[in-house]
Amino acid sequence: QVQLVESGGGLVQAGGSLRLSCAASGSIRRINVMGWYRQAPGKQRELVAAITTGANTNYADSVKGRFTISRDNAKNTVYLQMNSLKPEDTAVYYCNADAVNAITWARNNYWGQGTQVTVSS
């Protein structure tokens, strides 16, 4: 099994910055894509940013130029640097990983428990 633990959420004023971290642990042979999703109240969960093992990235249009995703493959950790935050960025942010189990070689999709980001105006 693979566990994802997020940290770094909190309350920040508009224009401020936060950095989210997500560490994967457990029976991991390989992690392919890692990403961040978010879900605001009453809305569907949406992709914020994703990054491959080779550091290819993909961003939602709403965060391009403000957010930066990165990863440390040796530590199985992904980060999301969020700058110029806006009230509409308020949501629960979830870490996601597409990982291969070290024992079974099964490939599955895993989610963290979520971390709240609140941006005040």
For the segment 17-49, what is each residue's pLDDT rounded down to a tens digit? 999 999 999 999 999 999 999 999 999 999 999
What is the DSSP annotation of 34-54? EEEEEE-TTS--EEEEEE-TT
Mean pLDDT of 4-19: 97
Mean pLDDT of 67-76: 96
pLDDT interval class at 1 (50, 70, 90): confident
Beta-bridge mates of residue 96: 35, 111
* 3-state SS, residue 106: coil
Q: What is the pLDDT of residue 31?
A: 96
